Amino acid sequence: MSSVAADLTQVRAAAELLGFALARRARPVEGGQYRALLDRYRSELGFKDVVDTMAEGLGLEVLGVPRSGMVLAPEPGGAFATRLADLRTTMDADDRLVFGLVLIGVAAFAYPTDADFDDPETRLVEIVRVDEFIRGSLDALGGLGGVEGSPEERARAAAQVYADLPQLITTQTGRRARGCTLKAVEEVFGWLVEQGAAREAGTLGPDTFHLTDRFRLLVADSAGGAALDALRDVRSAEVASS
Amino acid sequence: MTGAYGGVISPAADASARDRWRALALTDPVSRLVRNAAHAGIDDADYDLRLLALAAVDVVVGSMGFAREATLDDVVDELTGLASRMCPGRPDQARDAAQTVVRGLLNDAHDQRRFSYRFADLGAPGETVRWESYSFRLLSLREAEYGPVVVASDQAVTLFLNGLDVDLEDADRALAHVLQRQLDDRRFDAAARTAAQAERTSVGMSATLAELLDATRRDVGSHDWEQEVPERLVRARRHVEARIGEDDRLLEHVQSGLDAETSPEVRAVSGRIVDLIGRARRVHLDLERRLVGAREVFLTAQVRQRLARRRRLRMLALRDEVLVPVLALPRPVAVAVTTAFADRALGVSVPRLVRFDDMVDMLWAPPRARESAEPDVEIVPDVDEAHDVQRYPEPVVGAAREVLSAVTGGEEIRLSALLDAVPDAASVDAEIDEGEVAELVLLSALWAFAPDVVAEAEGDVAGEIDVLAGGIEARRDDRLLARSGVGGPDLLVRLRGGRVVEAADPLDDESEPVA
């Protein structure tokens, strides 16, 4: 951060920009105030410092400023951090394991290598493909070591739960019912859409989603972990052989 | 560069082999998508998929660089239209055909990665072959502020718009082609016309606004500032915002046409448009300045001309004025109303954001383990219930029960009569304190007269009273109870649900018995 004191108009503009970034529906359209502030953030170092500092004070971090808008990540435990209570409240321990596994699965599926994080192209993913990919990677997760309670052990447990679930159960109306992995993947995508990390791509068929820049930046920000690394290895091999 | 054939065929062929090979490779994805379409149930005989592929690139190129580029939906819709003309008999399949083509061009079969081909560089005769990988995209998706847009790669633009014998990697050239194509499509003319039209609109809006503001300065009531003028201002502001954005984008796009190597024709048109946009921009900005100050003019005029009135938040009948009307609204409008209402009613709500690792950690948090296997049990010393100082001794309770049992005959008995019977009941045992028995009988009767329902529900009632008073009820008598330490009307005690001997007068003395 620069040591120069920021003037108040700059602080106001910075707050406005963070306000836009927090409002999930705001889009930096041409000619709009959001767009102007984003451009200013990209081009003016002093302003960027003010915004970053203000975000830090609020318990936020600016992960990036793609064309679709500023992407923020919360500090854990901060006012903006998602809590378990914000997810579906009826989730039991197994549901949470599966949710986490699918989240990692989608990340590994879409971005198998670090180079993928620099590629601004949005990825199209399909529910069935993700499910198949995760199913095909369960052995790799089952081989992870780790003591009770370690992330590796949790990954093994998640893989076990996933393997035990059927791929598809349908309701009487023919939709996917809870308790199958396709529904679990569908729910994760629903949540990603809510988070602005994915969008439905109905024009290319049902169950198809775009992963947005927000998701790319979120995954790029991740320090990784044994489970993510294992799945990315599987996916890299899959991509290389295709 | 070593010639691809190592000079074995002809120097001319050798020189351009690599470029021509690349051009050839670039068309392969289209061939491939045509081959694969059969798997998707699309019959090559029904649809000209190659033409659809060309059309997809054309649609994309037509809008690249403009303020609004073609979204995925635009492209698929456009192709669906073309496809349904190719096979009018199968309108249901047209969309599938369009999707197949777009997916093919995006290389969806390989997760939209680059198309990759290997070129055999033969080198000089006798050298080992060097395999060179050549990868490219045709179409790709980018996220724009209004959704995913489709962009064409330089290779796609160059090849599909301008034939095969060109330098495919020349981005400037690709841009020149894009501009030329747009010029041919008369898109520049259209853009220039729109810009000129917008300029005239801005001039008109500026003039009306100036008039309106003057009138407001004279008389704040001359225009409807509650509804009409704000709407007008919003319209004007939207117009300016849209135009300034659009013009900037167009200006940038056209300016690049002046910088790149383009045809004289493109340069001339570009120059004209740059001038036009520059002029229009000044008009728009002028209008914007007036708009920014407009509200201030009204407020000043209002303060000067009228006393500012305080607006009070009206009380709402939630059911009739909020809930019922909202239920009758269409969903989008209802969402707006409900959101506004909930925001005011529930206060600030913080948007929740995620961080990937924290999210996974939270989801995968190990179940909470008990810290120590055996929790320390607090040892409570045994209590001798018989010697609880708070309780009445058992013989006292027995005596009181006997006194109260007089009501089991079904008759109503006066509390005074019950109290009279206490000495007899207490006399059976020398240990029994007559005063305690009398107290217990009195309290039981009072409890029966006015039970503490809440305490009863919570189990917070002394055991004896509960037991003794549980089966009886009492009502006020018109006589007075004359006992030492006890005042108020006498009570008529009977078995709960028992016979009422005489009707109570509701207009009786309201005072209650007081112990």
**∠ Cα A98 A104 A107 (to 5°):** 140
Nearest to B290 by CA among B215, B219, B228, B211: B211
What pLDDT sits at residue A58? 92
Answer yes or no: do B160 and B37 share one domain: yes
How far is residue B208 CA from its own chain's centroid? 40
Spatial distance between the Cα atoms of B31 and B25, rounded to a whole number of angstroms: 10
- Residues of B within 8 A of A22 (CB-CB) are 351, 353
- Residues of A within 8 A of B362 (CB-CB) are 82-84
Answer yes or no: do B265 and B162 share one domain: no
Domain assignment of residue B370, yes or no: no
Q: Which of A76, A154, A197 sits opposite B358 (nearest CB)?
A: A76
Burial class (CB in 10 A: 0-12, 13-18, 19+), A49: middle
Which CA distances in Å does A234 have to A220, A229, B185, B348?
18, 9, 48, 44
Answer yes or no: do B216 and B155 share one domain: no
Nearest to B247 by CA among B214, B273, B286, B217: B273
Answer yes or no: do B16 and B110 share one domain: yes
Of the listed ranges A142-146, A177-181, B211-215, B449-453, the least confidently predicted one is B449-453
What pLDDT sits at residue B37? 87
DSSP state string for B395-422: HHHHHHHHHHGGGGGS--EEHHHHHHTH
A210 and B141: CB-CB below 8 Å? yes
Q: B285 — contact with chain A (CB < 8 Å)?
A: no
How far is residue B46 CA from its own chain's centroid? 44
Give residue A179's region: left, alpha or beta (phi > 0; psi -120 to 50).
Answer: left
What pLDDT sits at residue B247? 76
User: To which residue do tokens 């037509």 refer?
Assistant: B62
Answer yes or no: do B323 and B472 share one domain: no
**Distance of residue B53 Cα from the nearest chain A Cα, in angstroms:** 16
State the DSSP H helix or E strand holding residue A107, giving kind and residue range, or none if neither: helix A93-110
What pLDDT sits at residue A50? 94
Taking CA atoms, what residue in A is nearest to B103?
A204
Answer yes or no: do B156 and B203 share one domain: no
Mutate to test the interface with B, among A132, A204, A219, A236 (most CBs of B within 10 A): A204
What pLDDT sits at residue B514? 47
Spatial distance between the Cα atoms of B10 and B499, rounded to a whole number of angstroms: 128
User: To which residue do tokens 């093994």 refer?
Assistant: A156
Sheet holding A208-211, edge to edge: A123-126, A208-211, A198-200
A74 and B147: CB-CB below 8 Å? no
Whether the CB-CB separation of A124 and A209 falls below 8 Å is answered with yes
Whether the CB-CB separation of B76 and B95 falls below 8 Å is answered with yes
Q: B352 — contact with chain A (CB < 8 Å)?
A: yes
User: Domain-by-domain residue ranges, chain A?
Assistant: 8-74, 85-241
Burial class (CB in 10 A: 0-12, 13-18, 19+), A148: exposed
A124 and B142: CB-CB below 8 Å? no
Spatial distance between the Cα atoms of B168 and B159, rounded to a whole number of angstroms: 7
Answer yes or no: do B418 and B287 share one domain: no
Spatial distance between the Cα atoms of A52 and A75, rounded to a whole number of angstroms: 13
Answer yes or no: do B427 and B339 share one domain: no
Q: Which of A35, A153, A212 sits opposite B143 (nearest CB)?
A: A212
Q: B366 — contact with chain A (CB < 8 Å)?
A: yes
ipTM score: 0.88
What pLDDT sits at residue B278? 81
Q: How many domains does chain B have?
A: 4
**∠ Cα A80 A85 A87 (to 5°):** 90
What pLDDT sits at residue B348? 65
What pLDDT sits at residue B179? 63
The tokens of A172 are what?
């009487």
Q: B354 — contact with chain A (CB < 8 Å)?
A: yes
String of b and e for B309-344 (b: at least 16 CB within 10 Å)? eeeeeeeeeeeeeeeeeeeeeeeeeeeeeeeeeeee
Q: Which of B140, B141, B355 sits opposite A74 (nearest CB)?
A: B355
- Residues of B within 8 A of A71 (CB-CB) are none
Answer yes or no: do B299 and B201 share one domain: yes
A122 and B141: CB-CB below 8 Å? yes
User: To which residue do tokens 């780790």 refer?
Assistant: A146
Chain B from 134 to 153: CB within 8 A of any A CB: 137, 140-148
What pLDDT sits at residue B312? 43
What pLDDT sits at residue B463? 54
Which CA distances in Å does B510 have to A197, B256, B506?
72, 98, 9
What's the N-to-C CA distance of chain A in angstroms? 46
Nearest to B438 by CA among B486, B476, B480: B486
Of the listed ranges A48-57, A129-138, B245-254, the least confidently predicted one is B245-254
What pLDDT sits at residue B239? 79
Domain assignment of residue B281, yes or no: yes
Spatial distance between the Cα atoms of B91 and B75, rounded to a whole number of angstroms: 17
Q: Which residues contact B85 (CB under 8 A, 6 or more apart)?
A: none
Q: A204 — contact with chain B (CB < 8 Å)?
A: yes
Q: Which of B354, B363, B367 sits opposite A99 (nearest CB)?
A: B363
Whether the CB-CB separation of B380 and B366 falls below 8 Å is answered with no
**Distance of residue B293 Cα from the nearest chain A Cα, in angstroms:** 17
Q: Is B497 helix (H, G, I), strand (E, B) or coil?
A: coil
Residues linked to residue B57 through DSSP beta bridges, in sequence order? none
Whether the CB-CB separation of A197 and A214 falls below 8 Å is answered with yes
Q: Which residues of chain B have pLDDT under 70?
A: 1-16, 65-67, 160, 162-188, 190, 257-262, 305-316, 347-348, 368-390, 452-470, 485, 497-515
What pLDDT sits at residue B79? 92
Give residue B123's region: left, alpha or beta (phi > 0; psi -120 to 50).
Answer: left
User: To which residue do tokens 């290895």 refer?
Assistant: A233
Q: Number of CB pairs < 8 Å for A and B?
A: 155
Residue A176 banded pLDDT, cuts 50, 70, 90? confident
Spatial distance between the Cα atoms of A2 and B434, rounded to a whole number of angstroms: 90
What pLDDT sits at residue B412? 83
Q: Is B485 helix (H, G, I), strand (E, B) or coil?
A: coil
How many C-beta atoms surround the C-beta of residue B512 within 10 A?
13
Domain assignment of residue B1, yes or no: no
**Distance of residue B292 Cα from the nearest chain A Cα, in angstroms:** 14
Whether the CB-CB separation of A67 and B148 falls below 8 Å is answered with no
**Domain range enclosing B19:** 11-169
Answer yes or no: do B34 and B73 share one domain: yes
Answer yes or no: do B295 and B337 share one domain: no
Q: B362 — contact with chain A (CB < 8 Å)?
A: yes
Domain assignment of residue B268, yes or no: yes
Taking CA atoms, what residue in B is nearest to A158?
B364
A97 and B364: CB-CB below 8 Å? yes
Taking CA atoms, what residue in B is nearest to A24?
B351
Q: Which residues contact A194 (CB under 8 A, 6 or more apart)?
A: none
Answer yes or no: do B232 and B161 share one domain: no
What pLDDT sits at residue B469? 65
What pLDDT sits at residue B64? 75
What pLDDT sits at residue B428? 80
